[in-house]
């Protein structure tokens, strides 16, 4: 598990990112946005999978702007963890990795 901070969409996100194997042995990834430095919304997906905005937003408490910035940052930093981001707004994919 890694703690990262990214700037995207004029916001700063403190994130926990990690990889694990589910009970079927499939490789999974997850991200938790530490909104208050302690907890926050979480999203998991199959490693390398294409992620559709409608599906991801239905399964999480993220809004589209925040989830777009967060997932595009993870895709940039950790190659191979996120496939294509489908139906997300490209306007919100402006990322700067802080640490």
What would the mean pLDDT of 13-39 be, rounded to a whole number? 94
pLDDT tens-digit map of 42-84 = 999 999 999 999 999 999 999 999 999 999 999 989 999 999 9
Per-residue DSSP letters for the chain?
Answer: -EEEEEEETTEEEEEEEEEEE-TTS-EEEEEEE-TTSS---EEEEETT--EEHHHHHHHSS--HHHHHHHHHHHHHHSTTS---EET--GGG--EEE--
For the cut 90, the answer to whether the pLDDT of residue 18 exceeds it is: yes
Parent domain of 41: 2-97
* Number of domains present in the structure of the chain: 1
pLDDT of residue 91: 73
């Amino acid at each position: 598990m890694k703690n990262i901070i990214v700037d995207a969409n004029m916001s700063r996100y403190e994130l926990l990112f990690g990889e694990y194997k589910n009970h079927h042995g499939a490789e999974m990834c997850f991200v938790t946005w530490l909104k208050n430095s302690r907890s926050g919304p979480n999203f998991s997906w199959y490693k390398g999978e294409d992620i559709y905005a409608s599906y991801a937003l239905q399964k999480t408490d993220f809004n589209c702007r925040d989830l777009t910035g967060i997932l595009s940052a993870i895709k940039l930093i950790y190659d191979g963890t996120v496939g294509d981001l489908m139906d997300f707004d490209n306007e919100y994919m402006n990322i700067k990795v802080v640490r």
